[in-house]
């Protein structure tokens, strides 16, 4: 039966692709998993390979067309919602600060933090409450958030339509709040839908900024080995497509789907 196999990548936008690559590899310590200099595609990971999603760097260019170009530009310099896992948050934060990176621990649990890249993009860091071993550095791309008006409807979409499994994250590991995340596999990157409330924010403009993410391109890409079969299965479940499966210039086949909040996700089948 055709199905989604994995979350292959999560995108982040930059003003300077070369500078951003140097930051994430030389300063943060990520490895290059894949690169296409012709299209400007760079996929990075905490490890050279892995079942977690790659962090995909994108520099918006006019060739994308006005709509996609402007949408990409608007996402530079905000809270990305992308979170890396570490088994020693304190030492990881200290190491990043020694390298001149703006980083901090959030809350009192000591398990959640964040750092900022040269474009002002903020990324999260998450540590298990009781890690089996303590090791500084980033071990995997643990999760990415999507903004929702109704997390129950989002949860039904991820589980019933996309076949993902739900996992409850307690407040002690979620920066003071409990969340439900959705994964395709136990070692894969999770998607964490959340509903912004004004009480979450010290600055009202941050609330408005998060609400503005509803209905956007999430830059989350799923992988499958049978995109046409999967497309028929998803259509039968009522999943909406903003783009039906079609072959792309880079050699693979891609489609785009929408969740109940009109957030957009890519589905890709690589190769021929």
Report the first-to-last Cα separation within the chain, whole angstroms: 19
Q: What is the pLDDT of residue 46?
A: 96
Average pLDDT over residues 74-98: 95
Q: Is 161 helix (H, G, I), strand (E, B) or coil?
A: helix
* DSSP label at residue 199: G
Residue 251 is assigned to a structural domain of this protein: no
Cα–Cα dist 48/44, whole Å: 8
Give per-residue pLDDT as tens, 235-262: 999 999 999 999 988 889 999 999 999 9
Residue 47 is assigned to a structural domain of this protein: yes
Q: Tell whether the torsion through CA atoms of 67, 69, 75 and 77 is positive or negative.
A: negative
Chain Cα centroid distance, residue 228: 25
Q: How confident is the model at residue 159 (pLDDT cuts 50, 70, 90)?
A: very high
Cα–Cα dist 76/59, whole Å: 9
Residue 195 is assigned to a structural domain of this protein: yes
* DSSP label at residue 103: E
Give how many domains the chain has, as a whole number. 1
Give per-residue pLDDT as tens, 5-43: 999 999 999 999 999 999 999 999 999 999 988 888 899
Residue 234 is assigned to a structural domain of this protein: no
Cα–Cα dist 100/110, whole Å: 21
Q: What is the pLDDT of residue 107?
A: 77
Residue 263 is assigned to a structural domain of this protein: no
What is the extent of the structural domain holding 103? 6-201
Chain Cα centroid distance, residue 29: 18
* Residues 222 and 269: beta-carbon distance below 8 Å: no
- The pLDDT of residue 272 is above 60: no
Cα–Cα dist 17/60, whole Å: 9
* DSSP label at residue 172: G
Residue 72 is assigned to a structural domain of this protein: yes
Residue 229 is assigned to a structural domain of this protein: no
CATH number, domain at 54? 3.10.180.10
Give per-residue pLDDT as tens, 43-69: 999 999 989 999 999 999 988 889 889
DSSP 3-state helix, strand, coil percentages of the chain (rounded to 5)? 25, 35, 40
Residue 246 is assigned to a structural domain of this protein: no
Give per-residue pLDDT as tens, 163-192: 999 998 766 555 556 789 999 998 999 999
């Amino acid at each position: 039966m055709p199905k989604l196999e994995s979350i292959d990548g999560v995108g982040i936008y930059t003003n300077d692709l070369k500078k951003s690559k140097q930051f994430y590899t030389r300063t943060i310590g990520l490895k290059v998993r894949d690169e296409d200099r012709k299209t400007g595609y760079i996929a990075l990971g905490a490890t050279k390979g892995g079942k977690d999603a790659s962090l995909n760097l994108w520099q918006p260019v006019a060739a994308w067309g006005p709509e996609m170009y402007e949408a990409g530009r608007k996402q530079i310099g905000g809270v990305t919602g992308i979170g890396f896992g570490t088994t020693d948050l304190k030492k990881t934060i200290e190491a990043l600060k020694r390298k001149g990176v703006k980083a901090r621990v959030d809350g009192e649990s000591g398990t959640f933090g964040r750092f900022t890249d040269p474009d002002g993009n903020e990324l999260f860091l998450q540590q298990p409450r009781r890690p089996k071993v303590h090791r500084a550095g980033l071990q995997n791309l643990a999760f990415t958030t999507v903004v929702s008006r109704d997390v129950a409807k989002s949860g039904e979409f991820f589980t019933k339509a996309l076949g993902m499994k739900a996992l409850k994250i307690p407040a002690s590991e979620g920066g003071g709040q409990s969340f439900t995340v959705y994964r395709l596999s136990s070692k894969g990157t999770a998607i964490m839908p959340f509903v912004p409330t004004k009480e979450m924010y010290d600055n009202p403009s941050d609330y408005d900024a998060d609400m503005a993410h509803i209905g956007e391109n999430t830059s989350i890409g799923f992988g499958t080995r049978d995109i046409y079969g999967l497309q028929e299965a998803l259509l039968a479940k009522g999943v909406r497509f903003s783009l039906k499966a079609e072959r792309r210039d880079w050699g693979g086949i891609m489609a785009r789907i929408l969740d109940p909040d009109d957030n957009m996700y890519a589905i890709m089948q690589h190769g021929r």
